[in-house]
Amino acid sequence: MRRTAPVVTAFVAGVLVTISFFFNEQKTLIGSVQTEILNWVTIIFGFALTLGVVSITRVNFNKIKRRQEGWFYSLLVLVSVFIMAIPSILSSSWSPLFGRAEGSIYDWIWVRFSEPMMATMFAMLAFYIASAAYRAFRARSAEATLLLVTALLVMLWRIPMGEWLLKQMHTSLPDWINVYVMNGFNLAVQRGIIIGAALGAASMSLRIILGIERTYMGKG
């Protein structure tokens, strides 16, 4: 039963959502099934999120209790989770510090801590990207040289100083990069990747619906 029930549930839900996609939601009963199932998915996601909070609390609390290596970081994790979560779920009618509106505790922590940390993380990633680009974009062949030149033009185009330098070479060069490189070659490659990802997602969905793929049950 533990193996059969999840497979049957996945099969029925997958088939209903697929079929209801082709029917009018307002005029047919089967057309409204997709919305109803998606609502249930949202509810289940809420319970899964709660389970995740309970799990991360239990794991980090045990680490703090046993004074394992790095327990101080576990303490910071718990403090960060609850100091962001508790004020945000309390009603703003009780106090303007509650909720997620501007001026609340949640907003203050987000603006003062989360956003600077994210900016720092992405700023550090820029150095790793530049290092990886230096190793990857070596002009060993004609294709690699073309990739190197294109990457340099795009990186210059993305920063104000680089855009100014490109305009000194030719006034329409930044517009040319935007039209032909970003909205031309780059967009074509992105569409190819999206199509491949969509086919992969459709293939995986079909495997789950037919019960071939069962890794979501914790089994290979």
Per domain, the residue ranges of the chain are 1-69, 137-220
pLDDT at 46 over 80: yes
Q: What's the predicted TM-score (pTM) here?
A: 0.54
Burial class (CB in 10 A: 0-12, 13-18, 19+), 147: middle
What percent of the chain lies above the pLDDT cut of 70? Answer: 95
Q: Name the residue type at position 10.
A: A
Are 154 and 182 in contact by the 8 Å Cβ rule? The answer is yes
CA-based angle 48:55:69, to the nearest 5?
Answer: 150
Mean pLDDT of 90-115: 82
Give the pLDDT score at 10.
Answer: 79
In angstroms, the CA 61 to CA 75 distance is 8
For 20, counting Cβ atoms within 10 Å of its Cβ (0-12 exposed, 13-18 middle, 19+ buried), the class is buried
In the chain, what percentage of residues exceed pLDDT 90? 5
Taking residues 69-77, report their average pLDDT. 88
Instruction: Output the pLDDT for position 193.
Output: 92
Give the pLDDT band (50/70/90) at residue 50. Answer: confident
What pLDDT, on the 0 to 100 scale, is given for residue 154? 77
Mean pLDDT of 194-214: 85
Sign of the Cα torsion 95, 99, 103, 108 reads positive
Residue 197 has pLDDT above 90, yes or no: yes
Mean pLDDT of 169-189: 80
Distance CA 72, CA 36 (A): 44
Residue 112 predicted with pLDDT over 80: yes
Taking residues 176-205, report their average pLDDT.
86
* Strand, coil or helix: 116: helix
Please check the confidence at residue 95 and state whether its pLDDT lies above 90. no
Read off the pLDDT band of 129 (50, 70, 90): confident
Provide mean pLDDT across the span 98-109: 82
- Over residues 26-33, mean pLDDT: 73
The model's confidence at residue 58, banded by pLDDT at 50, 70 and 90, is very high
Per-residue pLDDT at 104: 85
- Cα separation, 17 vs 36, whole angstroms: 10
